[in-house]
C-alpha cells in the first residue's frame, strides 16, 4: 500500500475540517493511504492540540518545516488568504502536491503564477470549492448536460451569510485588502465557481460592490476603529458563453442567513432549485405535466447518487458538510494516483479569480467587463499587487 504523507498548515475551522477529511478519506482510498504526518500553526498550543486530537505524528510552529519534510507528499493549506501564494509556491518548488483553500490568491495575476508554477513542476493541485462535490450538484450538472431542462434561459445564484452583520464584529484577516477582495472573493468565489461548474464560462459581467460597515473595532472590545476597505455585498449581472444571462450575489451581512448558497436555473423544458441549507435535496420542475398538478418535486439524495453510497446505504438519511470535504480529499487522492485532474485545480481557481478581479474593475468603472479584454484585468491585478507591496 502506498502511503501519502499529509502536512497541514492551520488549525482553525478549515484546518480541523481538513484533518477530519483526510482521515476519513483513507477509509475509501484503496491502495493509497493518507498519513497525517505534521501540522503547523503559529500558535504552538493549537498545533500541539491538533496533533493530539487528530493523530498527526508531530507538530510545529513553522510552516516551512512541512515543506522541508521528506515524509510529506501533500501540503494542505488553510491559512489566511494572504499567505496562500507564498506557501503554495514553496510547496510546489519542493515538488509537493498542494491543496489550498479558496480564494486561491489576492488577485488573478498571482493566481496565474501559481497555476503555471504547478503545471511546470508537474504536481497536482486542488482548491477548496467543496460545495460542488455534493452528489446533488453533480446530478444537476448531469441533468443540464443531458438536456432535461432544455435550453438554459437564466441563472440566479447567491451566497449569503450573516457573520459580518454586526458593526461590532472586529476587523480581521477577512478584511485585509492585501489578501484580496471582501465578500465577492470570500463568498462570491463559491457561487461563481458553482455557476461555472453547472453552466460553463462567464464571458461578460457588470458588478456593483458595496461596503455597508465602513469601520470596525481593530480587535474584540476595542474602541479604536479601523477602516474597512473591502466589500460587504457584491451584486453581479453576468452573461455566460453558452448564451444565457444571470444574476449573482455575494453577501456576508445578510441578517438571518447562515448558509444561503444556492441557485435557480431555468430552461425551456424545466427548472432546478438548490439551497445549501437543505443540500441533500434538489428541486426539479418539468413541463408537460397535467394542468392543475404542475409544480416542483423534491429529489432526495440517496445511494444512487454517488458517492453518497460511500457514507450511507439509505436514501434521505443525509450526508453533511464534513462528508463533502471527505469527498473533496478522496477525489484529490484519486487525482494524484491517476495523474488526471479531477479539480477544481489551481487553473480553475485562476479562472474564478479573474471573475472576482473583473467585478472590482466593473464596480469601480461602472461598466461592463468582457473577458476578451485580458489586459484590463492584468493591469488591475498588477496595480493592486504593487499597492499591497508598498503597504
Task: Name all domains of the chain by residue range, CATH numbers in brackets.
Answer: 2-130 (3.40.50.720), 135-278+280-319 (3.30.360.10)
Residues in the chain: 391
How many other C-beta atoms can be found within 10 angstroms of the C-beta atom of residue 235?
Answer: 19
Over its length of 391 residues, how does the chain's per-residue pLDDT go in tens digits? Answer: 799 999 999 999 999 999 999 999 999 988 899 999 999 999 999 999 999 999 999 999 999 999 999 999 999 999 999 999 999 999 999 999 999 999 999 999 999 999 999 999 999 999 999 999 999 999 999 999 999 999 999 999 999 999 999 999 999 999 999 999 999 999 999 999 999 999 999 999 999 999 999 999 999 999 999 999 999 999 999 999 999 999 999 999 999 999 999 999 999 999 999 999 999 999 999 987 676 778 999 999 999 999 999 999 999 999 999 999 999 999 999 999 999 999 999 999 999 999 999 999 999 999 999 986 444 445 555 555 444 433 3
Q: Are 29 and 35 in contact (CB under 8 A)?
A: no
End-to-end CA distance of the chain: 49
Using CA atoms, how far residue 365 sits from 25, 103, 210, 351, in Å, is: 46, 23, 14, 21
Place of cell 489551481: 346
Looking up cell 453547472 gives 198
| DSSP state, residue 13 | H
Q: In a 10 Å sphere around its CB, with 0-12 CB exposed, 13-18 middle and 19+ buried, how is residue 208 labelled?
A: middle
Query: Does residue 53 contact residue 23 with C-beta atoms inside 8 Å?
Result: no
Q: Whole-model pTM? A: 0.93
Is there a cis peptide before residue 344, judged by omega within 30 degrees of 0?
A: yes
* Cα atoms in the Cβ-side hemisphere of radius 13 Å centred on 142: 9
Distances (CA, A) of 379 to 274, 305, 383, 385: 37, 44, 6, 10
Nearest CA to 231 out of 183, 190, 164 is that of 183
CB-count burial class (<10 Å; 0-12, 13-18, 19+) for 342:
middle
Cα 46 to the chain's mean position, in Å? 25
Amino acid at each position: 500500500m502506498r502511503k501519502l504523507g499529509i502536512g497541514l498548515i492551520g488549525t482553525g475551522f478549515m484546518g480541523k475540517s481538513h484533518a477530519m477529511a483526510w482521515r476519513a478519506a483513507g477509509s475509501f482510498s484503496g491502495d493509497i493511504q493518507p498519513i497525517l504526518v505534521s501540522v503547523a500553526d503559529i500558535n504552538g498550543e493549537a498545533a500541539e492540540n491538533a496533533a493530539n486530537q487528530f493523530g498527526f505524528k508531530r507538530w510545529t510552529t513553522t510552516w516551512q518545516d512541512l515543506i522541508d519534510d521528506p515524509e510529506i507528499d501533500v501540503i494542505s493549506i488553510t491559512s489566511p488568504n494572504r499567505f496562500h501564494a507564498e506557501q503554495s509556491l514553496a510547496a510546489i518548488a519542493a515538488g509537493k502536491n498542494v491543496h489550498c483553500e479558496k480564494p486561491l490568491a489576492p488577485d488573478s495575476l498571482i493566481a496565474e503564477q501559481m497555476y503555471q508554477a504547478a503545471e511546470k513542476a508537474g504536481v497536482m493541485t486542488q482548491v477548496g470549492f467543496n460545495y460542488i462535490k455534493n452528489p446533488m450538484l453533480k446530478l444537476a450538472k448531469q441533468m443540464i448536460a443531458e438536456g432535461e431542462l432544455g435550453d438554459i434561459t437564466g441563472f440566479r445564484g447567491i451566497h449569503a451569510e450573516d457573520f459580518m452583520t454586526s458593526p461590532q464584529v472586529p476587523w480581521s484577516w477577512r478584511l485585509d485588502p492585501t489578501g484580496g477582495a471582501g465578500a465577492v472573493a470570500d463568498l462570491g468565489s463559491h457561487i461563481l465557481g458553482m455557476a461555472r461548474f453547472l453552466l460553463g464560462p462567464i464571458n461578460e459581467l457588470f458588478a456593483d460592490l458595496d461596503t455597508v460597515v465602513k469601520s470596525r473595532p481593530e480587535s474584540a472590545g476595542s474602541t479604536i476603529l479601523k477602516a474597512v476597505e473591502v466589500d460587504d455585498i457584491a451584486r453581479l449581472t453576468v452573461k455566460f458563453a453558452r448564451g444565457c444571462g444571470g444574476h449573482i450575489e455575494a453577501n456576508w451581512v445578510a441578517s438571518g442567513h447562515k448558509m444561503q448558497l444556492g441557485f435557480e436555473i431555468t430552461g425551456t423544458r424545466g427548472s432546478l432549485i438548490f439551497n445549501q441549507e437543505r443540500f441533500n435535496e434538489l428541486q426539479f420542475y418539468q413541463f408537460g405535466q397535467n394542468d392543475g398538478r404542475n409544480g416542483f418535486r423534491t429529489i432526495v439524495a440517496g445511494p444512487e447518487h454517488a458517492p453518497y453510497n460511500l457514507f450511507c446505504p439509505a436514501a434521505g438519511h443525509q450526508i453533511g458538510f464534513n462528508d463533502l470535504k471527505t469527498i473533496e480529499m478522496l477525489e484529490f487522492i484519486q487525482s494524484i494516483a491517476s495523474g488526471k485532474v479531477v479539480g477544481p485545480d489551481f487553473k480553475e481557481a485562476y479562472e474564478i479569480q479573474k471573475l472576482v478581479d473583473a467585478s472590482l474593475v466593473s464596480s469601480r468603472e461602472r461598466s461592463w467587463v468582457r473577458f476578451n479584454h485580458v489586459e484590463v484585468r492584468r493591469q488591475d491585478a498588477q496595480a493592486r499587487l504593487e499597492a499591497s507591496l508598498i503597504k
